[in-house]
């Protein structure tokens, strides 16, 4: 039978198709290794989970070890899942975990210190789920591309975003946040990747459509600008006392 879900998630992207079509026999940009790996996963019928905990996040040794354990557990239950894991390169006194060379991760895990183009990753048909820390950018990128998401929130507003992800139905949130609990990560990521009846994918696509119908980035920027330019501060000064400033 036809598979409409992937077709809906992957609208016509002339630029992406052109970039992939031009790849044969030519020297490619820096992100080509990542996309070539995702192409390979897609050709093998594997689903990719991209793990990106944000620019300022750094792994504690226990969190890193628990994450490796969770990926192993997922692989044991579903060998068709592969992982693109972004871990920023930091000094050992800041992030005391094995380096990329020391890690000796299994072949179903692709660890990167930097992903040159998240757009290329999120457009790719092999991508099944984004796992992130609950940052506003991460949330909205997933909504814009119709990608189900799993959140282990880490601080302040990210916990609220995690709850929004769960209550909206676009993904799942770990109630153990900010801790990494292998059994919980395994269970929730498998639920999202396997996605019985395409529930998460259809919900994510519906929110993608809502963001487009609402006007997208341009409308959001125009709305913010209108508040800034049209707002009249008490006494004509933006430095008015707090009770009168808003």
Per-residue model confidence as pLDDT tens digits over 54-97 = 989 999 999 999 999 999 999 999 999 999 999 999 999 999 99
What pLDDT was estimated at residue 230?
78
Position 23 pLDDT exceeds 80: no
Cis ω on the peptide bond leading into residue 5 (within 30° of 0)? no
- The answer to whether 63 touches 96, Cβ cutoff 8 Å, is no
- In this predicted model, what pLDDT tens digit does every residue of 108-145 receive, in sequence order? 999 999 998 999 999 999 999 999 999 999 999 999 99
- The answer to whether 170 touches 198, Cβ cutoff 8 Å, is no
Supply φ then ψ for residue 190, to 5 degrees. -65, -40
Supply φ then ψ for residue 148, to 5 degrees. -60, 150
pLDDT above 70: percentage of residues in the chain? 82
The residue among 45, 129, 140 whose CA lies nearest residue 84 is 129
Cα separation, 118 vs 217, whole angstroms = 17
What pLDDT was estimated at residue 6?
41
The residue among 91, 23, 51 whose CA lies nearest residue 189 is 51
What pLDDT was estimated at residue 228?
81
The DSSP string of 198-246 is GHHHHHHHHHHHHHHHHTHHHHHHHHHHHHHHH---GGG-TTS-HHHH-
Q: Read off the pLDDT band of 216 (50, 70, 90).
A: confident
Buried b (16+ CB within 10 A) or exposed e, 195-217: beebebbbbbbebbeebeeeeee
What pLDDT was estimated at residue 203?
97
Tell me the mean pLDDT in the region 26-40: 75
Cα separation, 211 vs 196, whole angstroms = 25
Q: Read off the pLDDT band of 240 (50, 70, 90).
A: low
Structure tokens, 191: 């639920």
Structure tokens, 20: 């992939």
Position 232 pLDDT exceeds 90: no
The residue among 73, 21, 12, 75 whose CA lies nearest residue 48 is 75
Average pLDDT, the chain: 86
What pLDDT was estimated at residue 238?
65
Which tops the pLDDT comparison, 233 or 125? 125
> 130 - beta bridge partners?
50, 149
Tell me the mean pLDDT in the region 138-167: 96
pTM: 0.80
- Report the C-alpha dihedral over residues 10, 12, 14, 16, rounded to 10 degrees: 0
What pLDDT was estimated at residue 1?
41
CA 244 vs. chain centroid, Å, equals: 39
What pLDDT was estimated at residue 32?
84
Position 16 pLDDT exceeds 80: no
Residue 186: HSE in the Cβ half-sphere, 13 Å Cα cutoff: 16
Position 243 pLDDT exceeds 90: no
Residue with tokens 């507003």: 157
């Amino acid at each position: 039978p036809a598979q409409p879900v992937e077709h809906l998630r992957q609208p016509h992207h002339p630029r992406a198709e052109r970039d992939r079509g031009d790849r044969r026999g030519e020297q490619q940009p820096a992100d080509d290794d990542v996309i070539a790996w995702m192409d390979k996963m897609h050709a093998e019928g594997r689903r990719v989970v991209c793990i990106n905990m944000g620019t300022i996040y750094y792994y504690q040794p226990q969190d890193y070890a628990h994450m490796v354990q969770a990926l192993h557990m997922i692989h044991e239950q579903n060998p068709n899942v592969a992982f693109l894991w972004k871990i920023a390169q930091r000094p050992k006194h800041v992030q005391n975990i094995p380096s990329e060379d020391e890690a000796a991760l299994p072949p179903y895990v692709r660890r990167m210190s930097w992903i040159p183009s998240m757009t290329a990753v999120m457009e790719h048909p092999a991508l099944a789920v984004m796992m992130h820390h609950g940052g506003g950018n991460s949330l909205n990128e997933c909504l814009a591309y119709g990608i189900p998401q799993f959140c282990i929130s880490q601080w302040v507003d990210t916990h609220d975003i995690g709850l929004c992800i769960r209550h909206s139905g676009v993904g799942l949130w770990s109630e153990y946040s900010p801790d990494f609990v292998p059994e919980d990560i395994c269970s929730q990521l498998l639920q999202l990747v396997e996605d019985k009846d395409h529930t998460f994918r259809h919900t994510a696509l519906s929110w993608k459509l809502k963001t487009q119908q609402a006007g997208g980035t341009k409308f959001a920027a125009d709305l913010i600008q209108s508040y800034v330019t049209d707002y009249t501060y008490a006494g004509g000064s933006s430095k008015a006392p707090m009770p009168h400033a808003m």
